[in-house]
Each structure stands twice: as structure tokens, then as C-alpha cells.
Chains A and B, each alone.
Chain A
Amino acid sequence: MRKETREYNFDWMLWNSFTAAAQLKKGTEKEYRSMLKYIPYFRGVVESILDAGEPGQKFLDICSKYMENVITAKEKGKKTAITTFCFSPAIFYAMDIIPVCLEVISVMMTFTYKRGTAEFLDYCNEVGYTETSCSSQRGTIGAYLAGIGADIDMIVTDTPGVCDTNANAFAFASAYLDKPFFQLDMPPDLTGERSNEYHREDYRALIKFLEEQTGKKLDPEKLRANLRELAKQDEIIAELEDLARMVPNPLPVSYNLMVYASRFLFAGMPECTGVLESMLEVARENAAKNISGLSGGVEKLRAFFCYIDHYAQNLQLWKMLDINGICYQGNILSRSWAHNAPHVTEYNKEEVAYTIDTTDIDSLIDSLAMINSRMPMIKSIRGPYDAPNMWLEDTLGLAKLYNADLIVYNGTPGCRNTWGMVKLFARDTEKAGFPTYIMYADAFDARVQSWEATEERFMEFLKVRRLV
């Protein structure tokens, strides 16, 4: 790692970057335009997000707030927990713990910095991680292992049974940093009494762990308020998802990213609700006018991303889609499995969905256990991909519901949970009539395959399959 990288805490730097970005549009347009030339590597992100209007502004504000929470946790007397994107942060907020979500912070850095997270990725390898470990965690954890981040009190994950390389990254960090560790383990089946009971028991053990770490009992009123806020967010997301079914889709391409990122950052908190409400307002207006969310206004294709996105610097994936008139119909990260989600009601999947019951402490905890067990990836990448309610069924259902013309897989080379069977999966989706493109890039590390090469191959696929 370069000496200068160690000069400042990385999370403090990131907070500064996002806080400054969030201020840019608060002056005049001329001031804004003249500032952009000073942030050549970050301007693409800033422009893409701020050009989305009020939702973009609010989104940048919450990114800044999230990082501020991380770096000021100690002075505010709060505990910090390193956690993962597929772990609902609602429980942390309810227990006054500041979540530090590795993957979301990796995305923020990958978008923002010229070198992305390369130095932290490599630092992880220097201290022991295999180079084949997932880049989404390594990108941020490397900084904490190097001691250039906020103090961390505990490490919590929920990916055992779902993604080894993710779970392993957290377990490694716990051993390396000598911090308390807790894992929520996922059985291979999502539904059924055995799995439900397992989820519930495991979640209660988590709460016990968090209570031990914080020295505080879980406050049911605080949790109730968070879950009510979460229910409100689910309502909004359900409407946004419903609107995305329209032709043309009134949602701008970046909305999907903002939906899932907001949830990963502030699920159950008003910050997330604010971004979602703002997006819903714009989407409703566009829908009323029958306007496409694409900047060109013409929808040529609809792509469903069955896994994650590609986080190349400056949101280049979203730009590529927008420029080419490709409507982004969501991915595994953005789908909610709330009882009112469109795909739940459309396919009568109530037994798979979660409901939020705020009656008493038991129902609150059970609701959280169900929510967590239905988080992205946790829900559908646990058992065999072709089992009921798992990845294939979900993908085909969603691709049909959102009228996708093609399905795209992208992950990282660390995703052994999906690389282990993605060829079979693609055979099945192709058989079902969806041209399926497997991207061989790394969503978080452009050194594996440059964005330019990734884009060229993607476009080549569209041409070869006569989709454009």
C-alpha cells in the first residue's frame, strides 16, 4: 500500500468526497459546472446522480450521512459493526449500533476513485486472504485491516450457507482484528417449519450477541418504530416495482441502484424513506405522462440482471444502458420479498414472502428473522439453484414479469456460489426463451477486465444475438 494512502483514514476521505459532492448543486449552476473539472474521476458519478434531480440529491446526502455516522460513532458513544449488504441493518439501528457495510462502501470507492479499491484489495492478499477471495469485501476490509478506518467493535454476517467467500471474509477479519464475530447461518431450504424455526432461533442468538456487545437490552419501541418505517419503505418499493412493469418503464436507469443502496444503508430509517419517496414522485409523474425513464426517451430493450451490477468507475454500466436505450429491469439486489411486492402477489408466493408484525417483541423479532432470511442472495442462492423458490424460479418469474428481452449475469470471480452452476442456469434461462449473457468481469475490480472490454463484449453479445 502506498504511503500516502495511509496518511488519512479512508472512511474519513470518503465522507469528505461524498459530503462535498452533496453540496455541489446547492450553489449556482455555473458554480456547479466549474467545480466538475476539479473532480475528473468522480464527476461521472456526481453528474449521473445529481442529474436525477431531487432523488439524486437526497441519495448523495444519505451516502454522506452514512459515512459521517461511521467516522463519528465513537465520539457519539456508539458501537460499530462490520456487516454485509444482504444483512438488514434495521436491527443495528434499533440497537444503536452503527453498521459498516463493506460491499456498499466498496461500491462507493469503486465509483469514486481512479484506482478504485485496488490498494485495499491487494493489502488483503498481503495479510493472508487468497487472491480469489471476493473483491466486494476485500475492497473495504483491507483498509480496516491496515488500521486506516474507524474503530470496529464487532463483525456480523449472515452468508454461511449462501456465499462462502463472503462469510470467510468476515471470519478472517474477525480473527485478524481479534473482534467478536457472529454469523447467522442459512439452512438450504427457505420455507417449511424447520427452516423457519432455525431462522428464528438463530436471530434470537444474534440479538443476545448484540446485547452482550453493547451492554444494552433491545428496546422494543425503537425496533417497532424501525419496522414500521421498513413497512412504509416496502410499500414504496412495491409501487416502484409495479411502475417498472409499464411500457415504457418510467424509472430512470439509476433508480434501481438507488433503491437497493438506500435500503442497504438505511433500511428502517427515515433517510431511506426520503430517497424512496422522492423517486416515487418522479416515477409517478413520468408514468402519468407515459414518459420513459431513459434519457433518450426511447426504450429499445429491457435487460434483467439476475445477480449484481458492474460498479466500474463513474456508473459506466448505467451510462451504457441509458445511451443504448436499454431499460434496466432490476437485479437480485433490488427485489423486495415483502408480502406486497408485485412478484409475490403475481405468482402467489405469499409463503415465501415476509410480513411485518409489530404486535409484541416476539412478533417483532420473528419479523426481522424473516426479513433477513429473505434479503438479496440470502433468499435465493442458498439451496440448489433449480429448487422451488430459488434462483432459477425467481429469475424466470421476474424476467417475465418485467418483460425482459435478455438476462445478464455479472458477479466477481469470488462468487463460487453462482459460478458453480451459472452455466446450467444459463442453459435453463436460454431454454425458457431468454438470451442470457454471462459477463466474465469483476464487478469491483476493473483490473480483472477493463470496463472498455466488458462493454465491448456486452455489446457484441447484443449484436450476435440480434438484440440490437
Chain B
Amino acid sequence: MIKELLDASTVLNNKHVIQWKKNGKKVVGYTCSYVPDEVFHAAGILPFRIRGFGAADTTIGDTYFGPFVCSLPKCMLQLAGEGKFNFLDGVIITPGCDSMRRLDECWRKAGSDVDGVIPSFFFHYGVPHKYSDYTIKWLTEETHRLIAAVEEHFKVKITDENLHRSIKLYNQSRMLLDRFEAMRTLDAPPFNGEDALAVILAGTTMPREEYNSLLEKFLSEAENSPVIKNRVRLMLVGSANDDAGLVRVMEGEKAVVVADNLCFGSRFYTDQVEESGDPVSALSKRYLGHNDCPRMYGDYKRRLDILVQKVEKAKIDGVILQNIRFCDLHGSENGLFERDLEAMGIPCMRLEREYGPLVETGRMKMRVDAFIERIHQKKAIA
């Protein structure tokens, strides 16, 4: 089971997408976890989380973006320029951060330079940076604008009934992922962090019905799987990471990542959408209110509380606070987390890295090993 999920998480145009397209259906990509999948599902469109995974260089990305910009959107543009996203029928860009929001212009410009780089549906979805009655109102209207645009472009109808059905399906998925999360944080978990990330990532690249079914099977199998013991328990926090290989490097033979707070990880599926009432308003409330990204300025204490709860629940020995270079949001907040978690006696390690091919595994491995050693020393003293 894990192989199928791993394949879906490591191949962009995976077999599920190929089959979907063969059936004449559409795929719309989006760049940020603030976009409600349910809207596309309700339209019979496959929502696909765009990633930069697999980009071997950033020559195309660097042609459009300036130098002081995160490598994640550069890798995304690289793949788009190389035609790796040609299966997408549409793209949604959000102002997740400045680097990601500029993907809008860079991708459009690349599209005007080279035919076929940009899909015919290209939509900027404005997501506010705080949670209040008027920002929810804004996002609700924005979601209605998105729905209208999708309906017009793809000649589909997104009814409230369909939205309710989709919300229910995705909530089921979230419940399954809650079970998955509980299993992951057991004293002796049945799978490691690499597999865990692959399982979560797979959900962003395949039809939800199939995913739920695979996930259920995975969970059943996991109940009878051999468990992992006597490893240092880590939590991975910070910038976007959609590469299970990065987790593998960190885990090595000595550690296991039993929790995370990543937007490609657990942040993606926590919290349900209200199933009654106006579905668009319910989606807006959930997506704006329950995503724990530092782009929501001034909400640090809530995010720290989330980490502390996770540390306690998952019996975390140490927290790796990583950020992609030029990601000031996560990078700086990691500084605050380090200060506050260390003050609570929770060992932390800050790690700045580049997104993309794991070219610096040696450096990373050495630092993580040193961190693990520090944790062992702390335990020995205790």
C-alpha cells in the first residue's frame, strides 16, 4: 500500500492523474493550502497541489524571478517551463507569501514567451492575512468569484448540494488523517516520518475518493505492521517541504519524525469544515481560520501553543525548525519558536536550506546527527 502512495507522492503526472485525464476530466493546480479543494471536487475537477518536486535546476525560474527569492516558486516555474505541468487545465495562485504571489506574473510572462507553458485558466485567489468577520466576508466573496470563474471557464455548475457532498468527503478524509496522526504519534509508531509525509502528499495528487480508500487500507495494514522503537522522536516545523527524501535524510537510522507542522504536512488536514449552513462561508471560515502559517501575522502565540501541544502529545525529544532560504516568515518565526521552546526545555535546531534536489545532504545529516547527540546527552543527564 505504501508503495502506491509513495508513487503518487513522487511522480507529478502519476497514474491517477493520467487515468483522470484519460476519462476526459480536468485538473486544476494550486500553490497554497489556503485554496479549498472542495470547490474543484464539487465541479468534477481534480484539485492538484502544485509542487517544485523533481526540478533539477532553476535556469527557467531564474530567468523570471530576481535573485533574492525562495527556490520553491522558482522550481515550480522551472517545471512549468519544462512542460511538466502540461496536464494542468488551470492554475490558482494565492498570495501565500511574496515569492509565491509573484509566481503569478512570472508564470504569465513565461507563458507569453513560450507557447503552452501556461494553462488557459489562470486565477489569482486573494486570501487575507487575518481572521475576522470582514476578512471571512472577503474570502467568502473571493470564493464565490472563484466558483463563478471555474463555472464559466469549464462550463460546469457548482451547486451547494455538490459542495456539501464534497465537504463531507474531505471531512471523512480529515478524520482518517486524524487516525493516521494518532498512529503516527504512538510511543512505537508503525511507520516513519518519510512514509508519513508520502501518505499526506499523495492526498494532494489524486482523486479524493481513491485517496480515502487507499488511506483506509494503509491504516488497516499499519495496525499490524512492525513498530519503530528506540529512536529519537523529532518534529519537523517550518517552510514548505514536499520531499519525503528530506525527512529520510533527517531520520537516518537514529531518529523518527513523529509529528510536523508543515503546510504540505499536518497543517493541510487539521480541522473539519462545518457541514451545515452555507458551504462557501463554511469553507472560508475553515481555510482562513485553521491554517497555521506565519503569513497570518500577529498570531504567533496560537501557533506556539499548537507546537507545544504537539510536543506533549507526540512526546517529542527535539524540534527541527527549518526554512527555505529567503523565507523570512518561517525563518524568523523559527527564531521565536527556538527561544520559547528551548526555554521550556525542548531542544530545537534551526536549519536553513534550499528547496529542490537534496544537494546538501552531507551538511544537513551532520547537523541533525549533532542535534541527536545533544538530545541523547540531555537524556543521559536527566
Contact = CB atoms under 8 A, between A and B. Distances in A.
Interface of A: 127-130, 132-134, 157, 160-161, 163-165, 167-172, 174-176, 181-183, 185, 187-189, 194, 197-198, 201-202, 205, 383-386, 413-424, 427, 440
Contact of A384 (B63, B124, B134): B124
Contacts of B332: 128-130, 133, 168-169, 172
Contact of B298 (A161, A171, A176, A440): A171
Given A384-B105, A420-B69, A171 B297 contact: yes
B365 interface: no
Contact of A160 (B134, B297, B300): B297
Contacts of B120: none
Contact of B328 (A127, A133, A160): A133
B66 interface: yes
A127 B335 contact: yes
B134 A198 contact: yes
B294 interface: yes
Given A160-B129, A164-B98, A167-B129, A201 B328 contact: no
B355 interface: no
A127 B339 contact: yes
A181 B328 contact: no
Interface in B102-147: 102, 104-106, 108-109, 124, 126, 128-130, 132, 134-135, 138, 141
B106 A421 contact: yes
A383 B298 CA distance: 22
A182 B336 contact: no
Given A132-B325, A168-B329, A385 B130 contact: no
20 contacts: A128-B336, A128-B338, A129-B332, A130-B327, A130-B332, A170-B297, A171-B294, A171-B298, A174-B298, A174-B300, A175-B301, A183-B298, A197-B134, A198-B138, A416-B69, A417-B102, A419-B68, A420-B65, A421-B102, A427-B109
Given A133-B332, A167-B129, A422-B66, A128 B124 contact: no
Contacts of B68: 132, 413-416, 419
A415 B335 CA distance: 20
Contacts of B226: none
B328 A168 contact: yes
A168 B327 CA distance: 11
B298 A423 contact: no
A168 B102 contact: no
A421 B130 contact: no
Nearest to B128: A185
Nearest to A133: B328
A427 B294 CA distance: 33
Contacts of B138: 187, 194, 198
A385 B105 contact: yes
B105 A421 contact: yes
Interface of B: 63-70, 73, 95, 97-99, 101-102, 104-106, 108-109, 124, 126, 128-130, 132, 134-135, 138, 141, 294-295, 297-298, 300-301, 323, 325-329, 331-336, 338-339, 352
B331 A183 contact: no
A423 B98 contact: no
B329 A423 contact: no
A294 to B, nearest CB: 32
A371 B137 CA distance: 23
Contact of B124 (A182, A188, A201): A188
Contacts of A424: 64, 105-106, 109
A133 B328 CA distance: 6
B300 A175 contact: yes
A416 B338 contact: no
B106 A160 contact: no
B297 A168 contact: yes
- Looking at B69, B141, B297, which has the most chain A CB atoms within 10 Å of its CB? B297
A167 B104 CA distance: 21
Contacts of A187: 126, 128, 138
B111 to A, nearest CB: 12
Contacts of B70: 416
A432 B307 CA distance: 51
B134 A172 contact: no
A91 to B, nearest CB: 18
A202 B141 CA distance: 16
Given A164-B295, A187-B128, 7 more contacts: A128-B336, A157-B297, A168-B297, A169-B332, A172-B333, A421-B66, A423-B64
A129 B335 contact: yes
A163 B338 contact: no
Contact of A128 (B106, B134, B339): B339
B126 A419 contact: no
A418 B352 CA distance: 23
Nearest to B104: A384
Chain A to chain B: the 8 pairs with minimum beta-carbon distance, closest first: A128-B335, A420-B102, A419-B66, A130-B331, A160-B129, A175-B300, A201-B134, A416-B98
B328 A163 contact: no
Contacts of B104: 384
Given A170-B297, A172-B332, A185 B130 contact: yes
Contacts of A427: 109
A421 B61 CA distance: 11
A83 to B, nearest CB: 14
A172 B63 CA distance: 32
Given A127-B335, A132-B331, A198-B138, A205 B65 contact: no
Contacts of A413: 68
Contacts of A415: 68
A384 B97 CA distance: 13
A419 B102 CA distance: 9
Nearest to A134: B328
Contacts of B95: 161, 188
A387 to B, nearest CB: 9
B129 A181 contact: no
A423 B64 CA distance: 6
Nearest to B132: A205
B90 to A, nearest CB: 17
Contacts of A168: 294, 297, 328-329, 332-333
A169 B333 CA distance: 10
Nearest to B304: A175
A419 B101 CA distance: 12
B132 A420 contact: no
A183 B106 CA distance: 28
Contacts of A171: 294, 297-298, 300
A167 B329 CA distance: 9
B336 A420 contact: no
B126 A420 contact: no
Contacts of A386: 105
A268 to B, nearest CB: 26
B97 A164 contact: yes
